[in-house]
Amino acid sequence: MHREYSAWDSPSLGRRMEFLWFGTTGRPLLIFPTAASKFYEAEDFLLINALAPKIQAGELQVICCDTVNLESWYNKQVPPLVRVARHEQYDTYLRHELIPMIQNRAQRSDLITYGASFGAYHAMNLACRYPEAVKRVVSFSGVYDIHSFLDGAWNDSAYFHCPTAYVPNMDDGWVARLRNVEFVVATGEQDTLVDKNREFIGILKRKGLNVHGEIWPGVFGHDWPYWRQHLPRFVP
C-alpha cells in the first residue's frame, strides 16, 4: 500500500504542518486526529489497516492531517478568544491550503471528512462551513459545541465555529448548499456523549438535511475498536 509523508510551512499558521497520504487513486478521505493527538494517530491505532482493502483496491485515498488543538481549544495558557483566533487560522489552512492540495493531487472534488471524538468536531465544522468543498462527513462519538472550551467568552468568530450554534440559524440559501452534503453522525448508546449526538442529529434533521444517524445498541462506542469496525461502511 502506498504511504507517503509530507509537510510544508503553512503561511496561514506560521508553522510546519505534517500529514500522511495513503493510496494513489480513489475518493479522498481526510482524517482528523482526536483531541491532542497527531497526524499519525489513525495509523498507530490501526484505522488505516481497517481501510486498507479499499485503499489497495484503488477506491480510496486517505489523508491524515494534523491539528493545532494544543494551540487553540486546549490551550488554557492564553485567553479564550485567542484560542478562537488560532483556530480561525487553522480553518484558513484547511480551506485554502490543505483542501486545494488534496483536490489538485487527487483530481477529484468529492472529499469526505472523518473524525471521532474531538476530531468529529473538525470534520463536521469543515463540512458545514464549506459544503462546496466537502461532499460527505462521517463523525463518530463527536463534540459539536465549543462553549466548554471558552470559559464563558464568546464572539462572532466563536459563533461561526460552533455547529450547534450556527447550523440551527442557517437561512434557506445556506440550507440549500448543505443539502449537497451527506452527513453521518454515530456513537454507542452507552457513550457519555450519546445525548449530545442525538441532539445534533436532530438539529440536522430539522433543517431537512441528508443525515444518517446511528446509535449503536448496547455498547460504549467511544473507542477505536468501534470506529475501526464502522468507518469502512461509510467510505467511499
Q: Which CATH number fits domain 3-234: 3.30.870.10, 3.40.50.1820, 3.40.640.10, 1.20.120.330?
A: 3.40.50.1820
The DSSP annotation for 45-105 comes to TTHHHHHHHHHHTTSEEEEEE---GGGTTT-TTS-HHHHHHHHHHHHHHIIIIIHHHHHHH
| pLDDT score at 30 | 98
Banded model confidence at residue 98, pLDDT cuts 50, 70, 90: very high
For 231, residues 6+ apart whose C-beta sits below 8 A from its C-beta are 47, 50, 51, 114, 138, 140
Cell of 202: 436532530
Residues 153-180 have a mean pLDDT of 97
By C-alpha distance, which of 170, 176, 222, 171 is closest to 196? 222
* The model's pTM: 0.98
Return d(Cα 124, Cα 160) in angstroms, integer: 13
Total residue count of the chain as it appears in this document: 236
What is the DSSP code (8-state) at residue 169?
G
pLDDT in tens, 32-80: 999 999 999 999 999 999 999 999 999 999 999 999 999 999 999 999 9
For 234, residues 6+ apart whose C-beta sits below 8 A from its C-beta are 136, 138, 184
8 A C-beta contact, residue 34 and residue 117: yes
pLDDT in tens, 191-225: 999 999 999 999 999 999 999 999 999 999 999 99
